[in-house]
């Protein structure tokens, strides 16, 4: 697969992806005076999901102060739930301020990587040539590859079609008959935004989502002045939001608590929807939390407008200028917006990353991704995932997990340096015990007993997406890397001279000594 030419560039660390995980890792490396790294980014700009999702109304459903890096606080958030543009701007700003930009290689899509036993390096193939790296950090994000559903006739549609994560801003929706497929976290944000301008909005709902009020509001200038004047205040607000959000984990484990939250969601529904026929379409038929709990103040009201129809009879065929549903009705359509989500448990790269025994990630996973700490894998030396298997969250900021994982990565680098090792990977039995523990803790949660099929579940039906506990337990465990769980070797470490990340001169250093 990977054919490196003599011109391939060697770096100590290659990071795939420039979203929060990639940029956060880069900042922490620079803080440790590690400059010998690159970020391989497939797009022409940095920002990950906050670059790609630019649909109208895109915003974070986690409170702003919690959805920022603890080592780059931002007193300037304009709303309690930040809009996409501000989060993207924040990421670009901190990347610039912290000196990350010279390390980013834009339009370098990683096509594959394999471990070379001879040189003890990852050989990485990108759309712009080869790289080799002593360590490979996969920070590509679980929600980066959009799903285009296999709907009958979709290819024959003559109007405009785009995915919510690839919004076509050149297409004017004004006065158009628009079909939206999907009612997940993305759809509920853009439906209220486009509803006032379109002629007709056919909303194809397969499963009704649970929706709670968001209670978003502008943050006043006087509040921002206070935050500017005191980092302690920002940290207090962040701490308050952290504790509040951790409470939201309880309904996932205790189904009795879930029923209480359902009661709140139904009150929210009843306060908005008076038409009994529409209400009956919008009442979910599974336990709250089984799929991601959505928050919105304007989605339900937008469904009551005369130009909106919620279609629950399924799509039987897409014709060149219309969509036919299960009740036989054909709705003339000018544009289809696919709000059909991503492929978090089946990453496109998985068949193309091969470890030291030649097997790919996809072969090892056999449809169900696993990793020690959701980060490292036996037979894949020096490979680290950020937001890898079982480290997603349904209740709070994933940046908490990302930060914990970045610190774990730093501890692994420390371990290698202390032992003078060129490779590190988890012991096979440590990985197996870790995964067994995750699966045991997953039992009885709303994701396994909640009566729904969500994107958290993989092809085998296992929840390989979420961390089955509050974030405090993951943070505690990630912070102290258990050396007994990792194997290192004692081969000389191959590193660049520190001149620049693109420097191709290679120096063989003796093992580090403590």
The residues binding ligand NAP (CB under 6 A) are: 59-61, 143, 149, 151, 164, 181-187, 204, 206-207, 292, 339-342, 455
The least CB distance from residue 62 to ligand NAP, in Å, is 6
SS3 at position 1: coil
Angle CA 344–22–494, to nearest 5: 115
Nearer CB in complex with ligand NAP: 287/354 = 287
The least CB distance from residue 426 to ligand NAP, in Å, is 27
Nearer CB in complex with ligand NAP: 186/333 = 186
SS3 at position 168: coil
The least CB distance from residue 181 to ligand NAP, in Å, is 5
The least CB distance from residue 395 to ligand NAP, in Å, is 11
- Decide if 251 contacts 289 (C-beta within 8 A): yes
Nearer CB in complex with ligand NAP: 379/448 = 448
The least CB distance from residue 140 to ligand NAP, in Å, is 15
Tell me how far apart the alpha carbons of residues 11 and 501 are, in angstroms, rounded to a whole number. 6
Nearer CB in complex with ligand NAP: 21/104 = 21
Chain residue at closest Cβ approach to ligand NAP = 184
- Decide if 409 contacts 25 (C-beta within 8 A): yes
- Decide if 76 contacts 223 (C-beta within 8 A): no
Nearer CB in complex with ligand NAP: 64/360 = 64
Count of Cβ atoms closer than 10 Å to residue 375 Cβ: 23
Nearer CB in complex with ligand NAP: 258/337 = 337
The least CB distance from residue 326 to ligand NAP, in Å, is 11
SS3 at position 321: coil
SS3 at position 42: coil
The least CB distance from residue 258 to ligand NAP, in Å, is 18
Nearer CB in complex with ligand NAP: 110/143 = 143
Three-class HEC string of 49-109: HHHHCCCCCCECCCCCCCCCCCCCCCCCCCECCCEHHHHHHHHHHHHHHCCCHHHEECCCC
- Decide if 330 contacts 319 (C-beta within 8 A): yes
Tell me how far apart the alpha carbons of residues 220 and 39 are, in angstroms, rounded to a whole number. 37
């Amino acid at each position: 697969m990977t054919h490196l030419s003599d011109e391939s560039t060697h770096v100590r660390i290659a990071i795939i992806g420039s979203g929060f995980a990639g940029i956060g890792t880069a900042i922490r490396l620079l803080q440790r005076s590690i400059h010998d790294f690159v970020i391989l980014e497939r797009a022409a700009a940095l920002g990950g999901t906050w670059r790609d999702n630019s649909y109208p109304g895109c915003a974070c459903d986690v409170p702003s102060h919690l959805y920022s890096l603890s080592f780059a606080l931002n007193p300037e958030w304009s709303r309690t739930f930040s809009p996409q543009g501000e989060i993207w701007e924040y990421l670009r700003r901190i990347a610039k301020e912290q000196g990350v930009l010279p390390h980013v290689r834009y339009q370098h899509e990683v096509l594959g990587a394999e471990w070379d036993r001879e040189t003890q390096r990852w050989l990485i193939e990108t759309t712009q040539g080869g790289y080799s790296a002593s360590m490979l950090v996969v920070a590509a994000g679980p929600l980066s590859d959009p799903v285009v559903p296999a709907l009958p006739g979709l290819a024959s549609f003559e109007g405009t079609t785009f995915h919510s994560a690839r919004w076509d801003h050149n297409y004017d929706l004004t006065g158009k008959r628009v079909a939206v497929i999907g009612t997940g976290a993305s759809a509920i944000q853009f439906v209220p935004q486009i509803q006032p301008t379109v002629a007709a909005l056919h909303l194809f709902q397969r499963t009704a989502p649970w929706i709670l009020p968001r209670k978003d509001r502008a943050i006043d200038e006087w509040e921002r002045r206070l935050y500017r004047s005191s980092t302690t205040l920002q940290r207090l607000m962040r701490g308050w939001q952290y504790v509040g959000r951790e409470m939201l984990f309880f309904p996932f484990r205790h189904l009795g608590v879930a029923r209480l939250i359902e009661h709140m969601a139904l009150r929210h529904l009843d306060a908005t929807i008076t038409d009994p026929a529409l209400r009956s379409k919008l009442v979910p038929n599974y336990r709250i939390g089984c799929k991601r709990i959505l928050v919105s103040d304007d989605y339900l009201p937008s469904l009551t407008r005369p130009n909106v129809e919620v279609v629950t009879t399924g799509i039987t065929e897409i014709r060149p200028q219309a969509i036919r549903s299960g009740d036989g009705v054909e709705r003339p359509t000018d544009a289809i917006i696919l709000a059909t989500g991503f492929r978090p448990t089946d990453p496109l790269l998985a068949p193309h990353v091969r470890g030291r025994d030649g097997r790919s990630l996809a072969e090892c996973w056999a449809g169900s991704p696993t990793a020690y700490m959701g980060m490292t894998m036996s037979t894949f030396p020096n490979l680290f995932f950020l937001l890898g298997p079982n480290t997603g969250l349904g209740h709070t900021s994933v940046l908490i997990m990302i930060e914990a994982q970045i610190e774990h990565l730093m501890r692994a680098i420390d371990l290698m340096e202390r032992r003078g090792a060129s490779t590190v990977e988890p012991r096979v039995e440590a990985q197996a015990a870790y995964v067994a523990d995750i699966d045991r803790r997953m039992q009885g949660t709303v994701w396994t007993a909640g009566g729904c099929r969500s994107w958290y579940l993989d092809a085998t039906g296992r929840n390989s997406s979420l961390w089955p506990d509050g974030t405090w337990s993951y943070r505690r465990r990630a912070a102290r890397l258990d050396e007994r769980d990792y194997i290192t070797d004692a081969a000389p470490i191959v590193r660049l001279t520190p001149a620049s990340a693109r420097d191709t001169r290679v120096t063989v250093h003796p093992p580090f000594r403590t």
